[in-house]
Structure 1
Amino acid sequence: MATNVTNGVLPIDDLHPGKTPTRLSWGAIFAGVVIAVAVQLVLGILGTGIGLTMVDPVEGTTPAATGFGIGAGLYWLVTTVVALGAGGYAAARVAGVHERFDALVHGLVVWGVTLILTLYLLTSAVGGIIGGAFRTVGAVAGAAGSSVGAAAPKVASIAGIDQGDVRDEVAAYLSDAPVDPAQMTPEQAQKEIARELPALARGGTDGREAESRIADIVAAQRKISRPEAQAQVTRAKQQFVRGKNEAIATAKSATDNAAGAAAGTSFVIVLALLVGAVAAGAGATAATRRRL
C-alpha cells in the first residue's frame, strides 16, 4: 500500500489565493448619478411650475422676493436630499455591497460625481453663451470699423471734398476756446468749464488753478464781479464734494451689503452640499445587503 508523505509545505495554489474582488463598482455609481440628476431635474421643473402658478400678472398678486427666495431655497434643499438619497441608494443596491463602509463610499462618490458634473454643465453652458456673444460683438465691431474706414475716403472723393480741408475743419472744431473768458461764447464757456472740472475734483495746485479759471469764466459770462463769481464757484464746489462723498459712502455701503450677502450665500451653499453628502451616504447605507 502506497503512503503519501508531505514535508509540511502547502501547495503553491494554496499560498496565493485568488484576487480580492473590487469593492467599488463604477457601473453602479454611474447608474446612481444618472438617477440623481434625473430626479433633481424632474423635481426642479416641478418646482418651477409651482412657482409660476403663484404669479398672477392680471391681479398683480406676486409673492415677495424675500419669501419667494427662501421658499425656493428650501425646495432646492429638499430636492437635493431626495435626488442624492435616491442616487446613493440605487448605487449601493446595484453594487450589492455587504459592508456599511462600502455602501457609504458608493454614496459619497455618487454625490461627488453629481456635484462635479453639475458644475461642469453650468460653467460650460454659461461660458459658451458669454463667449459666443462677445465673439459675435467683436466680429461685428471689427467689420463695421473696417467698413467705415474703407468707405470714408471714397465718400469724400465722390463729394468732391479734399481730405486736407476735412482735417482742417475738424481741427477748427476741436480748437481751444479763447483765453479771454469775455470773448467766449456760452457754448465755449460750458466746454471750458467741463474741461476744468476733473482738475478741480483732483484738488491741489491744479485744482486751485482750475477753480480760478472757472471763476473768471463765470464772472465774464454772468457779468458779475470776481468775488461774487468766486463765491458761486465755491458753493458749487462744496455741493460737488458733498455729492461725491455721499456717492462714495453709498458705494461702500452697497459693497459691504453685497459682500455680506455673498458670504451668507456661500455658507448656505456649503451647508446644502454637506446635507446632500449626508443624504447620499444615508441612502447608500440603507441599501446595504445582509450576508446570508
Structure 2
Amino acid sequence: MTYNPEPLSSEVAEPTIVNTAVNYHDRVRWGPVLAGIAIALTGQLLLSALGAAIGLSAGATGADAGSVSLAVGIWSIVSLLISLFLGGWVMAQSCGPMTKKTAILNAAILWGSTLALSSWLLASGISGAAEAVAANAGEIADRVQQQGGVNIPNQVQNVDPNQVRDIAGNTAKATWSFLLGSLLSLAAAMIGAAVGARKPRVYI
C-alpha cells in the first residue's frame, strides 16, 4: 500500500494586520486641536468678510436696512457653523485613528477654545478703540476750548418708553441669537469631528 501525500502549496497566507482605532492615554490631542482652531478662526474671518462685503454692496444699492441687517445676522450664524465644522474636520483628520467619542471630546474643546479666543479678540478690539479715543480726548478738549467751548444742555432729553422696549427687545434677540448660534456651532464642530475621524486601516 502506497501513500501519496498531496503537494504542499508554496504560497503562504499572510496574516491580516488591522490598525485599530486608538484610545489615547490623555485623549486630548492639543496639536490637532490648535490646527482646528486656526482653520476655524481663518474660515470665520474670511466668511465674515464675504458677508460684510455683500451687505455693504447691497446697502450701497439702496436695499432696505432692516433686510440687510437680518441677512447679515443669519450669515454670521451660518459662517460660524461652516467654520467650526471645517475646524472639527481638520482636527480629526490631523489625528491618528481614534474613536468617535474621542473625536467628539476634542471637538468640544476646540469649540470652547475658539469661542473664548474669538471673544477675547473682540474685547481687545473694543478696548483698543476705547484706548484710542481716550488718548485723543485731551486733544479734542483743547480744540473745543480754543473754539470758545461747547454748550452743554442742562437737561437730558426724556427717553420714550417705546424706545426702551425696542432696545430691550433688540438686545434680547441678539442674546438669544448668540446662544442659539453657539449651541449650533458646538453641534457643527462635533459633526465635523465625527465625519473626519479616520477609520482603521486594514493591511492584507
**Cα 1:132–1:50, aligned 2, differ >3 Å: closer, same or farther?**
closer
Instruction: Provide the residue aligned with 1:128 in structure 2.
Output: 128
**Local SS of the residue matching 1:96:** coil
1:189-204 to 2 correspondences below 5 Å: none
Instruction: Provide the residue aligned with 1:119 in structure 2.
Output: 119
**Structure 1 counterpart of 2:69, which letter?**
G
How far, CA to CA, are the matches of 1:52 and 1:262 in structure 2? 23
**Cα 1:49–1:264, aligned 2, differ >3 Å: closer, same or farther?**
closer
Q: CA offset at residue 291 of structure 1? A: 3.0
Q: CA offset at residue 22 of structure 1? A: 2.7
Instruction: Provide the residue aligned with 1:160 in structure 2.
Output: none
Aligned length: 169
* Deviation by residue 1:111-149 (Cα, 9 ceiling, x = unmatched): 11111111111111111121231132136648998x9xx
**Structure 1 counterpart of 2:119, which letter?**
L
How far, CA to CA, are the matches of 2:74 and 2:172 in structure 1? 18
Does the CA-based 8 Å contact 1:97-1:103 persist in structure 2?
no
Using the size of structure 1 for normalisation, the TM-score is: 0.53
Instruction: Provide the residue aligned with 1:38 in structure 2.
Output: 42
* Deviation by residue 1:3-53 (Cα, 9 ceiling, x = unmatched): xxxxxxxxxxxxxxxxx6331111111000000111111112222222233
How far, CA to CA, are the matches of 1:54 and 1:136 in structure 2? 34
**Local SS of the residue matching 2:160:** helix
How far, CA to CA, are the matches of 1:22 and 1:70 in structure 2? 43
**Structure 2 counterpart of 1:288, which letter?**
A
**Cα 1:132–1:48, aligned 2, differ >3 Å: closer, same or farther?**
closer
Higher helix share: 1
* Deviation by residue 1:70-92 (Cα, 9 ceiling, x = unmatched): 11112112111110000011111
**Cα 1:144–1:42, aligned 2, differ >3 Å: closer, same or farther?**
closer
Instruction: Provide the residue aligned with 1:47 in structure 2.
Output: 51
Instruction: Provide the residue aligned with 1:201 in structure 2.
Output: none
1:223-262 to 2 correspondences below 5 Å: 251-262=160-171
Show structure 2 runs of 5+ residues with no match.
1-23, 147-154
**Structure 2 counterpart of 1:102, which letter?**
T
Does the CA-based 8 Å contact 2:107-2:190 persist in structure 1?
yes
**Cα 1:274–1:140, aligned 2, differ >3 Å: closer, same or farther?**
same
Does the CA-based 8 Å contact 1:81-1:279 persist in structure 2?
yes
1:1-292 to 2 correspondences below 5 Å: 21-56=25-60, 61-138=61-138, 141=141, 251-292=160-201
- After superposition, the CA RMSD in angstroms is 2.5
How far, CA to CA, are the matches of 1:133 and 1:92 in structure 2? 44
Q: CA offset at residue 100 of structure 1? A: 1.2
Does the CA-based 8 Å contact 2:36-2:87 persist in structure 1?
yes
Instruction: Provide the residue aligned with 1:165 in structure 2.
Output: none
Rg larger for: 1
**Cα 1:126–1:53, aligned 2, differ >3 Å: closer, same or farther?**
same
How far, CA to CA, are the matches of 1:106 and 1:25 in structure 2? 7
